[in-house]
Chains A and B, each alone.
Chain A
């Protein structure tokens, strides 16, 4: 995919310039520096640029069918025509660097729409607009206005921020970190992250995929693509705008809604993307993946010449879900043989402050041999006798041969710089503090888990969709956006058990219904306008006889007319009172980027305060459903604490899967909630007690 874009023979720069300091010149210079193919500047006011013959238009080229890639830097309003020329000249790949599109307001947005249409018409694939350009170190292509070319390496990076591209290039230059491909995404009017995920996946030079994103263009497709790609190559992503203030900044920067962070977490988890919370983490992880093998497990050995650093690393391992490996007896015996008696032979191994490079080497080799060790964190502090560069050289040797990851943290400044340089020269990362090395080890370990995952598609759910269709048709006819208890039938359509109910319109009907269902009963107001029934006196529990029912009915009607005079009331619903069981909530909110985002949590009065909930993007499979249930903090309450009987968790899994199917089947459902779903003891299932949903305007 996009083979000619990244490996072109002939490139045109439309808007090439002779003037120093102009983007149109910088691009030509960058290409001249490394690119071996043919470079053709296009500018109607020049005959030659930097020694290259220049043409007034791409259509004036003598044999214009050979342009594989056009880089466009002309002012925005010329671009529709320029693209049309490209289309007529048979150009299929363009990088539009120019700004002045959607990011600049209403007029720019119109222009962007036109540009996309023109590109589509001629079958042109476009990077940008409003981007830095692209780099491919395999084909020596620097089609960007970045200040320098990237070093060769195996990291492929895409970024929605041009500034992060240039900053990363500069940082990487200092650390000798190399890249395979570098893509500045810009406004993502055509090509976006999903396309480049596939390009990077197919690229032999790429071992690790890294991205800085402010949003994704097509969430469901993203999950599918990333799920496929992450099986073969690790994907590390920073998604900024995690907080309310950050997401507001994303909004005003890109003009797109950031989407909820829970949705990103869920989507990344479900698709095997490793999330980094900062660019620093992203680069830390990418260096680990770029240079180290993937550990087989989470048992880590720490080797240090300073007790304090070892303890910090141990704490950090625990917090990151890594365990300190228990060494095999033979390892301890071997360590005792050469290490000074005062050393610590257990994990963390303390080789003591005066340890020589040879001692480090011996300890490292010994620990590497231990089959209980999956990865090593090697720490060094510069002490008077420490020979940093010698230690670094030994590490380089061992890393080259090792099948287990070794991450180093040479902690210090001036005195560790020489060692760090040696590591950098061999593309081995040095983390300035132990915690960062541990974080990166955790990232490596998490990828070993991701690789093991086998995605099983969601089970097929039998449902009577006709019932749901009819319900929604009626709601649309009546212009109802929100539905409550009156839409219980949709649950029955998906075989989700509901509590026995009767809807009534008058008091006498109500009393009759109670007699039929059998006391005790619950009375709930039926109104599409009332979402929090209990706040307005719209729920009465445990009514024991006709007298209770009559009093409850009269007071309920008065209260509701008082608190919500404009609510539409269609009557009340009588439910069988269920006293046993645990209340849980199953909800769905259609996320702007990923679509149906399912939510699970324990129910009850404190749920809004505790926010102990988990999320997954639908459709979910059984593993996702299990994960949702077990990952809430209050999960042990469902399994039963202090001698309580366990709840029927399998029935909750089944209900989650059914809801997932329902919200996928009916995209007009924007929000959905079963609250509460009463989970009965094991083997007895669960019952939905209440429901609420919001429909899309037809």
Chain B
């Protein structure tokens, strides 16, 4: 049995996406794959049981038979943190090791997903390097390459890990097209000269950042007024329509696959958005648009969503949705698998995992 701990330099760097993609690929290759997220931080209530959202989702995607309590044995509840701060002994190490031994039974490989950044969980003695050493596994570090400072983060994470042998290697994600050449020609050789294996770089990808319209409907508690047949379409960006109509249409045309947020009374903006073939319209303030506009939207097969919130709060929610949207959608699942297969040196990676 082999295992790997997927850690990251910072939050929202793509750990879950890599776990999903890698899990799928390994399953396809015939391995029996297990998954753990030792510390759950995205708490949700599943039929009366507190669980972690990533874990629940992963259970579905990888069709895991293991119990959710073993997949995520420790949950970051308020009680847990206050006990930790008051130094109450909780025996978390045993909990972790017990769950791990249950999960790893009959598995070829277990993917262990870290929580937050690499140091997350240190106050419980369960930072990613600590967990890795307790379970005797190596670390795969995921780093979002937003600028050259990502190199600094990788190097300091390398120091945090202490034992150089524990770091299997690095995957850099979300690399913008203008940085790709620089990263592959300069950054990768630089890191490898310092003994840090780079398994690959994953370019920025609009599909991965996107959110399906039905996800917006769900998150914003929206009412669908038209285009109900297109709720699976993906939205990559959102724009706010608060300008004069002729500027609006130019602005909407420049951005692919976007949702436009505007007021229900701005029929001109709504039509400009329909004309520019945006993916969907989000109308705020619970102001129902003119029926004639809905007629045009229906003709153009564009979903019009009506939400109660004002424009400002709707923007805030959209901001949180796009770019951080979790991978649930089939198109996105396929996309991450495809990105990993075409950008990651899977042979080296599986070898490093011990497969």
* A contact residues vs B (CB 8 Å cutoff): 101-110, 112-113, 244, 247-248, 251-258, 260, 478-479, 481-482, 505, 527, 561, 565-570, 589, 592, 670-671, 694, 696-697
Beyond known contacts A107-B298, A255-B291, A589-B250: 12 more, CB 8 A cutoff? A104-B292, A106-B225, A248-B267, A251-B293, A252-B289, A252-B290, A257-B274, A479-B206, A479-B256, A481-B253, A481-B255, A671-B250
Q: Are A103 and B295 in contact (CB under 8 A)?
A: yes
Q: Residues on B close to A: CB < 8 A?
A: 146-147, 176-178, 181, 206, 225-226, 244-246, 249-250, 253-256, 266-268, 270-272, 274-275, 277, 289-299
Q: Given A103-B291, A244-B245, A255-B293, decide whether A110 and B298 contact each other with a Cβ distance below 8 A.
A: yes
- Which of chain B's residues has its CB closest to A571's CB? B178
Q: Tell me whether B267 and A252 are in contact (CB under 8 A).
A: yes
Contact, CB under 8 Å: A109 / B296: yes
State the 4 A-B residue pairs at the shortest beta-carbon distance, nearest first. Answer: A255-B292, A109-B295, A105-B291, A252-B290
Interface centre among A106, A253, A258, by most chain B C-beta atoms within 10 angstroms, is A106
Decide: A260 near B246, CB < 8 A? Known: A248-B266, A251-B270: yes
Q: How far is the CB of B296 from chain A (nearest CB, A)?
A: 4
Taken together as a complex, chains A and B put the C-alpha atoms of A561 and B147 apart, in Å, by 9
- Taking a contact as CB atoms under 8 Å apart, the answer to whether B253 and A670 are in contact is yes
11 contacts between A and B (CB under 8 A): A102-B295, A103-B292, A103-B295, A104-B292, A244-B245, A248-B268, A255-B291, A479-B256, A481-B254, A527-B178, A568-B177
The residues of A that contact B298 with a CB separation of less than 8 Å are: 105-107, 109-110
Contacts A248-B267, A568-B177, A697-B277 given: A254-B292 contact, CB under 8 Å? yes
Query: In the complex the two chains form, what is the Cα distance from A109 to B299 in whole Å?
Result: 6
- The answer to whether B275 and A257 touch across the interface, beta carbons within 8 angstroms, is yes
A108, B267: Cβ atoms under 8 Å? no
List the B side residues contacting A256 at CB < 8 Å.
Answer: 271, 296
Contact between chains at B295 and A106 (CB < 8 Å): yes
Point out the residues of chain A lying under 8 angstroms from B253, CB to CB: 481, 670-671, 694, 696
- With a cutoff of 8 Å between Cβ atoms, the chain B residues found around residue A112 in the complex are 295
A257 touches B256 (CB 8 A): no
B329 CB to nearest chain A CB (Å): 19
CA distance A260 to B272 in the complex (A): 11
List B contacts of A251 (CB < 8 A). 267-268, 270-271, 290, 292-293
Instruction: Check if B254 sits within 8 Å of A482, measured CB to CB.
Output: yes
On whether the beta carbons of B226 and A244 are closer than 8 Å, the reply is: no
Q: Smallest distance from the beta carbon of B173 to chain A beta carbons, Å?
A: 15
Residues in chain A near residue B293, CB distance under 8 A:
251-252, 255
CA distance A592 to B275 in the complex (A): 7
Nearest residue (CB) in A for B266 is A248
Complex Cα spacing A561 to B176, Å: 13
How distant is the Cα of A253 from the Cα of B244 in the complex, in angstroms? 18
- A478 vs B204: C-alpha distance when bound (angstroms): 12
Interface of B is mostly: helix
B268 / chain A contacts, CB cutoff of 8 Å: 244, 247-248, 251, 257-258
Contacts of A248 in B (CB 8 A): 245, 266-268
Query: What residue of chain B has the Cβ atom nearest to residue A260's Cβ?
Result: B246
| Contacts between the two chains (Cβ within 8 Å), count | 111
Q: A108-B295, A112-B295, A247-B245 are in contact. Are A569 and B178 (CB under 8 A)?
A: yes
Complex Cα distance, B256 from A254, in Å, reads: 27
Q: What is the distance, in angstroms, from B121's C-beta to the closest C-beta of chain A?
A: 30
Chain B residue at smallest Cβ distance from A106: B298
Cβ–Cβ contact B226 & A566, under 8 A: no
Please, how many angstroms separate the alpha-carbon atoms of A258 and B292 in the complex?
A: 13
In whole Å, how far is A214's beta carbon from the nearest beta carbon of chain B? 11
Pick the contact of A109: B206, B246, B266, B294 (CB < 8 A): B294
Distance A110 CA – B301 CA, assembled complex (angstroms): 11
A565 touching B146 in the complex, CB below 8 Å, given contacts A244-B245, A257-B245, A671-B253: yes
Please indicate the chain B residues that have their CB under 8 angstroms from the CB of A478 in the complex.
177
Chain B's closest residue to A478 (CB) is B177
CA distance A101 to B294 in the complex (A): 11
Residues of chain B lying within 8 A (CB to CB) of residue A108: 291, 295
Once the chains are docked, how many angstroms separate the CA of A665 from the CA of B294? 33
Partner of B176, one of A244, A257, A258, A568: A568
Q: A694 to chain B: which residues have CB within 8 Å? A: 250, 253-254
- Rounded to whole Å, the gap between the CB of A472 and the closest CB of chain B is 15
Closest approach, in angstroms, between the C-beta of A495 and any C-beta of chain B? Answer: 27
Chain A nearest CB from B231 CB (Å) reads 15
Q: Give Cα A462 to B179, complex, Å.
A: 39
Looking at A105, A244, A505, which has the most chain B CB atoms within 10 Å of its CB? A105
Q: Give, as a whole number of angstroms, the nearest-CB distance from A213 to chain B.
A: 16
Q: What separation, in Å, do the CA atoms of A694 and B295 have in the docked complex?
A: 28
Find chain B residues with CB under 8 A from A671 CB: 250, 253
- In the assembled complex, the CB of A553 is this many whole angstroms from the nearest CB of chain B, namely 15
Q: Give the complex CA separation of A255 and B293 in angstroms.
A: 4
Q: B295 contacts which chain A residues (CB < 8 A)?
A: 101-106, 108-109, 112, 255
| Contact flag A113-B254 (CB < 8 Å), given A247-B268, A255-B290 | no
Of all chain A residues, the one with the shortest Cβ separation from B298 is A106
Task: Return B325 CB to nearest CB of chain A, in Å.
Answer: 17
Residue from B146, B226, B245, B272 whose CB has the most chain A CB atoms within 10 Å:
B245
Bound CA span A698–B225, Å: 27
Residue of A107, A244, A260, A481 near B256 (CB, 8 A) is A481
- Alpha-carbon distance between A515 and B238 when the two chains are bound, in angstroms: 44
Identity of the chain A residue whose Cβ is nearest the Cβ of B295 in the assembled complex: A109
Quick one: which of A105, A570, A592 contacts B249, CB cutoff 8 A?
Answer: A592
Instruction: Kindly report which residue of chain A lies nearest to residue B296, judged by CB atoms.
Output: A255
B98 → A minimal CB distance (Å):
45
- Nearest A residue to B244 via CB reads A244
Given A251-B267, A561-B147: A102 touches B296 (CB 8 Å cut-off): yes
Task: Name the distance in Å between B137's Cβ and chain A's nearest Cβ.
Answer: 35
Which A residues touch B246, using CB under 8 A?
Answer: 260, 589
Closest B residue, CB atoms, query A696 = B253
CA distance A113 to B146 in the complex (A): 49
Residues of B within 8 A of A561 (CB): 147
Q: How far is the CA of A570 from the CA of B182 in the complex (A)?
A: 11
Q: How far is the CA of A185 from the CA of B198 in the complex (A)?
A: 68
Tell which of A101, A257, A482 touches B272, judged by Cβ atoms closer than 8 Å.
A257
